[in-house]
Amino acid sequence: MKKKIFIPIIALALVVCCAVGGTIAWLTDVTDPVKNTFTVGNISIELKETPVETYKMVPGCTIAKDPTATVKAGSEDCYLFVKVEKSANFDTFMTFETADGWTVLSEGSNVYYREVKNNAADQPFPVLKDNKVAVKDTVTKKMMDTIIEAPETAPTLTFTAYAVQMQNGEGTFSAQEAWEKVQP
């Protein structure tokens, strides 16, 4: 008889446990996903000049010359450098001045720089003041004749532009430190 009572009690206990167990719930929660998209920083520059077939030197006259360094739209904050290389005889025949806004990197260097902030538009910067070079009025016919006899000795002026980001994970570079990153 004990067996007959025991089986229904166990069955009832199982039903009660299942009913109670089914009503017990765990508290849970979940967040919406947070997606991180990493874009690419960039610096883009160009150096252009109005093409001219030949530049004729006439003592005391100026020659139009318009090299322009442009930091392209969307570029990061950067140092824009222009390296100006003169032939050994350039200073004998000609002179030039850099346009406003350029700073010589170090005394006696041929490298000029400026700080350029990020912008949504292209930012052009003329390199030469008034877009010209001047032929010295002290140049003589005899000096010119040496160039006619050996055209490879004609004075030359070469421009090269460079750009370096202003900041990295450690802070802001100085112009000198930035130039050391690209020094050819």
Backbone angles phi, psi at 15, to 5 degrees: -65, -45
Quick one: pLDDT at residue 19?
55
- pLDDT of 23 > 70? The answer is no
Q: What is the pLDDT of residues 90-142, one digit of tens each?
A: 999 999 999 999 999 988 889 999 999 999 999 999 999 999 999 999 999 99
Contacts of 45 (CB under 8 A, 6+ apart): 69, 70, 71, 72, 75, 80, 161, 162, 163
Given a contact cutoff of 8 angstroms between Cβ atoms, the answer to whether 65 and 134 are in contact is no
Helix (H) or strand (E) holding 143: helix 141-149
Quick one: pLDDT at residue 29?
87
Nearest residue to 86 via CA among 155, 26, 143: 155
User: What tokens were used for 93?
Assistant: 């025949």
User: If pLDDT is split at 50, 70 and 90, which confidence band does 41 have?
Assistant: confident
- pLDDT of 30 > 80? The answer is yes
Tell me which residue has tokens 């252009």. 48
Quick one: pLDDT at residue 115?
96
Q: What is the mean pLDDT of residues 16-44?
A: 76
The pTM assigned to this predicted structure is 0.79
Q: What is the pLDDT of residues 49-77, one digit of tens each?
A: 998 888 899 999 999 999 999 999 999 99
Quick one: pLDDT at residue 96?
97
Nearest residue to 139 via CA among 59, 62, 61: 59
Q: What is the mean pLDDT of residues 150-159?
A: 94
User: What tokens were used for 99?
Assistant: 């346009």
